[in-house]
């Protein structure tokens, strides 16, 4: 994918999602893609390798939740994989501190290398397993906790509150749509409340997505 096509696809995708990104974000995402595909040729980081799919299913899918994340000073991405959604969100929100956690060492190695290559300050990659004990795991709490299809929603809502600062929020990026009643019930069982829920489609494939935000009661 050449530079012009990447820029056009990014602009078109952002427009379809109703979001905007700064002028420097596109070139940085291109560098992130080049780094991802270079690493992926040696160590398996992602099954998504076609540039158009990386742009849509990793980058645009990550940036789609900007409305739910904006304003946060710290973000914790659990089950970050190769850095999504944390790295693209950091590119658009450079003042936000971001910690990305995964159990797979090579993915954390990539996150660290990519952050260094892009000159990102305030990015931390942690090779750890989140089991609800942040102090012993060395995982910092954050204002916003986010995960993209990390685990089933009930399990996620059981785990998540331990990692959120007082007054913070939990963001769940879901593939499978949940009704308002289902979300309310899941939250109430865990002494959480639903702050917002929004459904959308990825701009090129039309894949369904939902983002739900929860807070402690």
CATH number of the domain that 209 lies in? 3.40.50.150
The residue range of the domain holding 187 is 61-216
In this prediction, residue 200 has a pLDDT band, given cuts at 50, 70 and 90, of: very high
Summarize pLDDT for 79-88 with one digit per residue, the tens. Answer: 999 999 999 9
Residue pLDDT, tens place only, 91-141: 999 999 999 999 999 999 999 999 999 999 999 999 999 999 999 999 999
- Would you state the pLDDT for residue 177? 87
Contact 170, 192 (CB under 8 A): yes
125 lies in some domain: yes
Q: Which residue, 32, 28, 26, is CA-closest to 11?
A: 26
| Ligand-binding site membership of 138 (annotated) | no
pLDDT confidence band for 44 (50 / 70 / 90): confident
Residues written for the chain: 217
80 labeled part of a ligand binding site: no
The arithmetic mean of pLDDT across residues 40-54, rounded, is: 91
- Stretch 42-61: mean pLDDT: 93
**Closest Cα to residue 213, out of 59, 65, 43?**
65
Low-confidence winner among 135-139, 147-151, 201-205 (lowest mean pLDDT): 147-151
Instruction: Establish if 6 belongs to a structural domain.
Output: no
> Is residue 172 over pLDDT 80?
yes
CA quadruple 92, 98, 102, 104: dihedral sign: positive
Ramachandran assignment for 182, one of left (phi > 0), alpha (psi -120 to 50 degrees), beta (any other)? alpha
Any known ligand binding at 84?
yes
Model pLDDT, residue 1: 84
**pLDDT surpassing 80 at residue 191:** yes
pLDDT at 176 over 90: no
Please give the model's pTM, rounded to 2 decimal places. Answer: 0.96
Q: How many domains does the chain have?
A: 1
pLDDT computed for residue 116 by the predictor: 97
User: For residue 195, is pLDDT > 80?
Assistant: yes
Domain assignment of residue 37, yes or no: no
State the Cα angle at 211 between 207 and 212, rounded to 5°: 150
Token reading at 160 = 């998540």
Mean pLDDT for the chain overall:
95
pLDDT confidence of residue 113: 97
Q: Per the annotation, does 175 bind a ligand?
A: no
Model confidence at 181, in pLDDT bands (50, 70, 90)? very high
Give, rounded to a whole angstrom, the gap between the first and last alpha carbons of the chain.
47
**What percent of the chain lies above the pLDDT cut of 90?**
91
């Amino acid at each position: 994918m050449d530079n012009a096509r990447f820029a056009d696809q990014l602009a078109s995708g952002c427009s379809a999602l109703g979001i905007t990104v700064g002028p420097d974000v596109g070139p940085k995402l291109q560098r992130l893609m080049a780094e991802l595909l270079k690493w992926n040729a040696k160590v398996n980081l992602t099954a998504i390798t076609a540039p158009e799919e990386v742009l849509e299913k990793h980058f645009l899918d990550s940036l789609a939740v900007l409305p739910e994340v904006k304003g946060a000073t710290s973000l914790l991405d659990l089950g970050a994989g190769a850095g999504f959604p944390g790295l693209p969100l950091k590119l658009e929100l450079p003042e936000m501190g971001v910690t990305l956690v995964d159990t797979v060492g090579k993915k954390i190695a990539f996150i660290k290398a990519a952050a260094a290559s892009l000159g990102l300050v305030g990015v931390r990659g942690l090779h750890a397993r989140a089991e609800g004990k942040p102090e012993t795991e060395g995982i910092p709490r954050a204002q916003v906790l986010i995960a993209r299809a990390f685990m089933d929603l009930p399990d996620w809502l059981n785990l998540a509150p331990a990692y959120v600062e007082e007054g913070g929020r939990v963001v769940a990026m879901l593939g499978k749509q949940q009704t308002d009643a289902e979300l309310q019930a899941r939250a109430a069982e865990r002494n959480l409340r639903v702050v917002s829920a929004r459904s959308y489609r990825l701009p090129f494939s039309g894949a369904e997505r939902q983002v739900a935000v929860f807070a402690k009661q």
